[in-house]
Amino acid sequence: MRSRRNFPHHRHIPKYRPPWWPEDSEWPPKEGHWPRRPPHFFIRLVFLFALMLILACIGLVFITGVMLSELGVPGIPELAPRPGIFLGIFFFLIFFGIVLAFRAFRKLAYPLNEILNAANRVANGDYQVRVETKHIPPEVRDLARTFNTMTGRLRTQEDLRRTLMADITHELRTPLTIIEGNLEGLLEGIYPRDDDHLKAIQKQTHLISRLIDDLQTLTQAESGILKLQKESVDLPALIQDTTEAFHTQTQETGIKLSFNPPSGLPLVYLDPVRIREVLSNLVVNAMRYTPEDGTITICCNHHEDQLSVSVSDTGSGIPAEILPHIFDRFYKSADSGGSGLGLAICKNLVTLHGGEISATSSENGTTISFTLPIQ
């Protein structure tokens, strides 16, 4: 029967890397596995404890033998003419063991105190504190490195939180200013109270509502609390249904949206609502930068144990210095009319499904592709 201690601590770790996990760190983390052998720190503690136990047993045997010998117990040989010598040796060994224990404790106490002080500073909001690992004993060095890694990630998350708050404030300021200006003009009689001005206000309220919905989705996806309602889905049929929803818009703009559904593809276990959102964001983004009479092409292919989907447009392309940042939140070009969250949401939703998303671009257009595991 397996003991409680031997249950794997990583049984609830998801198979795929969560979107909030640093890209330069291994997943699943090695810390989630039960170590096969104890660290050196515990080995030294066990060795020290065993040494003290051996010394105590030897001293006890000597003292017992001396006492029995002095009492003249039959069968106990004369240990020595001077029993005090054995007592002196015993106390010397005990003293020597205490000195060793004190030195070991002192060697570990200083770095542990440094880590404790640093932890108190982190608790007070100082995420820049780091523990020096150069002169720390090997037994505590791993703990110090782990602590520094933790504070580094906390610092990164704090910077992201502040940046997010600043970006939200910036994005909300423009539509709220427009709404406030129109309402003041209507109340003061500067603008006529007609449908045109009311539609302008309504457009800005829709923009704020969409921004809030996108922020909620992005926050839940990045924190890993977004629950996916997965089911077996025919991905080509889902893509076909999504493209048909843009039929009216493509007719108005003159853009050709094409998709040739392949046959014989296996079903994919995914959340159809979230993948539809990914496809819609990619198509809307492509339509924003595709000129009139341009073409948007969607392809779906089977590669081993995953399906790949690509959305290509015939726009002017994305500059090379901007391309690595298009999946960052609130990152958008100067002529963009969106909130800068669409591609960030796509990346997080695809990552939650265990897939990957990437983009390539040239002067002839841009292609954004993502993969989804079949199982």
129 belongs to a structural domain = yes
Q: Report the alpha-carbon distance of residue 70 to residue 68 in Å, rounded.
A: 5
Same domain assignment for residues 235 and 353: yes
181 belongs to a structural domain = yes
What average pLDDT does the chain have?
77
2 belongs to a structural domain = no
88 belongs to a structural domain = yes
Residue 57 has pLDDT above 90, yes or no: no
**CATH code of 347's domain:** 3.30.565.10
Same domain assignment for residues 255 and 176: no
Same domain assignment for residues 115 and 131: yes
pTM value surpassing 0.85: no
Same domain assignment for residues 167 and 303: no
Could you give the angle at the alpha carbon of 344 between the alpha carbons of 229 and 10, nearest 5°?
55
The pLDDT tens digits of the residues spanning 85-103 come to 656 666 676 677 677 777 7
pLDDT at 308: 92
How confident is residue 350, by pLDDT bands cut at 50, 70 and 90?
very high
Same domain assignment for residues 81 and 145: yes
Same domain assignment for residues 24 and 103: yes
pLDDT at 85: 61
More confident residue, 169 or 311: 311
Same domain assignment for residues 196 and 113: no
Examine the fold and report which residue of 123, 155, 187 is the final residue of a domain before the chain moves on. 155
295 belongs to a structural domain = yes
Of the candidate ranges 35-49, 200-214, 253-267, 345-359, the one whose mean pLDDT is the lowest: 35-49
If you average pLDDT over residues 297-307, what whole number do you get?
Answer: 89
Q: Report the alpha-carbon distance of residue 215 to residue 164 in Å, rounded.
A: 10
Distance of CA 254 to the CA centre of its chain: 42
Examine the fold and report which residue of 223, 252, 276 is the final residue of a domain before the chain moves on. 223
Same domain assignment for residues 118 and 23: yes
Tell me the range of 145-154, 160-169, 237-246 where mean pLDDT is highest.
237-246
The pLDDT tens digits of the residues spanning 249-290 come to 888 888 999 998 888 888 999 999 999 999 998 998 888 888
The pLDDT tens digits of the residues spanning 322-333 come to 888 888 877 666
Same domain assignment for residues 73 and 211: no
209 belongs to a structural domain = yes
Residue 82 has pLDDT above 60, yes or no: no
Same domain assignment for residues 321 and 362: yes
Same domain assignment for residues 60 and 108: yes
357-362 and 306-313 beta bridge pairing = unpaired
Give the count of domains, the chain.
Answer: 3
Examine the fold and report which residue of 155, 189, 215 is the final residue of a domain before the chain moves on. 155
Q: Report the alpha-carbon distance of residue 126 to residue 118 in Å, rounded.
A: 9
- CA neighbours closer than 13 Å in the CB half-sphere of residue 332: 18
Do 118 and 147 meet the contact criterion of CB atoms below 8 Å apart?
yes
Residue 12 has pLDDT above 50, yes or no: no
How confident is residue 344, by pLDDT bands cut at 50, 70 and 90?
confident
More confident residue, 93 or 175: 175
Do 239 and 298 meet the contact criterion of CB atoms below 8 Å apart?
yes
How confident is residue 84, by pLDDT bands cut at 50, 70 and 90?
low
90 belongs to a structural domain = yes
**CATH code of 178's domain:** 1.10.287.130
236 belongs to a structural domain = yes
Residue 200 has pLDDT above 50, yes or no: yes
The domain of 281 spans: 231-373
Residue 309 has pLDDT above 90, yes or no: yes
Q: Report the alpha-carbon distance of residue 179 to residue 209 in Å, rounded.
A: 13
pLDDT at 34: 40
Give the SS3 label for residue 138: helix
Q: Report the alpha-carbon distance of residue 69 to residue 62 in Å, rounded.
A: 10
The DSSP-derived string for 32-58 is: GSPPSS--HHHHHHHHHHHHHHHHHHH
Residue 223 has pLDDT above 60, yes or no: yes
Listed residue (322, 346, 337) closest to 214, CA to CA = 346
Same domain assignment for residues 49 and 133: yes
Of the candidate ranges 52-61, 138-147, 155-164, 321-330, the one whose mean pLDDT is the lowest: 52-61
